[in-house]
Structure 1
Amino acid sequence: MAGLGPGGAAEPRPLLVKIVMAGESCVGKTSIVRRYTESGSPPAGSPAPSYMATIGIDFKVKPVMFNDRRVKLQIWDTAGQERFHTLSTSYFRGAQGFVLVYDITNLKSFQSITMWMNDIYEKAGDEVDVILLGNKCDKESERVVPKQKGEKLAWEFGMPFFETSAKENVNIEYAFSVLTKEILEKKSGVLHDLDVVSLNETKKRTCCTF
């Protein structure tokens, strides 16, 4: 049930938004999710905990506020290994947003982005919001994917691009904020359109009632 607000009125239920992490194995998807969702994440510059590759599917919930409305982000962390590909992409359906991740020190992970985008289009449609993250930007000395390549690929697909570091906490919060804003503005527009239709229908019924 919805809770009661300060004036005793029922508060609206939080909006539920499904976001899916996608990309090859070991690009840092789990580290990004944990950095974003766990308030007890280590401070920037501290040694990053090591996580085993996700086996199958995991998810976290992150409550946020958007225009004074409570929102629950349900962030699904999918496995990047090829043997889990069918399972992972089956969770793409119904998602409103995707965080597509590659590792700037791993050229193959960057080259696979187009394949992942095709999976997103196939399973979730081409109207969903996607952001592209070039992760592990703290490993500049090991970089093999220039930032300009990430920017160019993101431009070709028409999506925001950020270089991030889960270890140093670089751009994680901001990237999710941008994605959430895009999703909720689109959702708010749909809700507004539905309200207008409902209002017009009410007016029609009212004007025809004698």
Structure 2
Amino acid sequence: MSYAYIFKYIIIGDTGVGKSCLLLKFTNKEFQAVHDLTIGVEFGAKMITIDNKPIKLQIWDTAGQETFRSVTRLYYRGRVGTLLVYDITRRETFNHLASWLEEARQHASENMTTILIGNKCDLEGERVVSTEEGEQFAREHGLIFMEASAKTAQNVEKAFIETATTIYKRIQDGMINEANEPGVRPGSFGNDASSKQRGGCCG
């Protein structure tokens, strides 16, 4: 299938916050209550539609363990979208967000669009991090914010699509130069501006 763009994502956050579950729910509409810890990096992909254009999302799910942080750092490069995930039932995963964000901004593209996701919002009775705290952190650091549940699928697709929509708008507004941004790859769909920049259909 042809596409207008490929957007490359990375998912980061502490071990056990549900990064792999979010990816699996988004790409396969599946949920695994028990999921093996990610060793290194896992990969998923899915086609979405923005402004009547097919966009392919390529998503790298990273391990949260400190042991694999050096590997994770390699995958920040060439990623234009980041999902920064914490678990609303575990305060320490929220406390570590600043460290994750600092590392991402140090190693990733300056064009990176980041969404903060408070996962496991279906476990309202076990909540220890309020929605307001998540919103405040997002405001202070210029992030999109959303609470989600990989179990019930609440806001899972919306999180990925809203991030992609923001990236797409930044390309259209000229804030991201697709020719110089490795996290964005123009495709052959339609007769868009990117095709013309490359010299038309045969360029």
| Structure 1 and Structure 2 fold alike (TM over 0.5) | yes
* Higher relative contact order (Cα pairs below 8 Å, separated by 6+ residues): 2
C-alpha separation in 2, matches of 1:153 and 1:184: 24
Which of 10, 13, 22 is residue 23 of structure 1 equivalent to? 13
Gaps of 5+ in 1: 4-11, 43-47, 200-210
Deviation at 1:127, TM superposition (A): 3.1
After superposing on structure 2, the runs of 4+ consecutive aligned residues of structure 1 that deviate more than 6 Å are 191-194
Higher Rg of the two aligned structures: 1
Alpha-carbon distance change, 192 to 139 in structure 1, aligned in 2, over 3 angstroms: closer
The answer to whether the aligner puts 1:112 opposite 2:96 as a matched pair is yes
Deviation at 1:178, TM superposition (A): 0.8
Deviation at 1:91, TM superposition (A): 0.1
Paired residues of 2:40 and 2:63 also in contact (CA < 8 A): yes
Residue in 1 that maps onto 2:35: 51
User: Which amino acid is 1:33 matched to?
Assistant: L
SS in 2 for 1:50: coil
Which of 80, 84, 88 is residue 64 of structure 2 equivalent to? 80
Q: Deviations over 1:134-191 (max 9, x none)?
A: 0011111111111111110000011111111101111111111110100111123348
Q: How many residues align?
A: 182
TM-score by length of 2: 0.82
Which of 157, 169, 173 is residue 173 of structure 1 equivalent to? 157
Aligned pairs (5 A) from 1:134-173: 134-173=118-157
The answer to whether the aligner puts 1:93 opposite 2:77 as a matched pair is yes
Q: Deviations over 1:88-113 (max 9, x none)?
A: 12100010110000001111110110
Q: Percent identity?
A: 35
TM-score by length of 1: 0.80
User: Which amino acid is 1:37 matched to?
Assistant: T
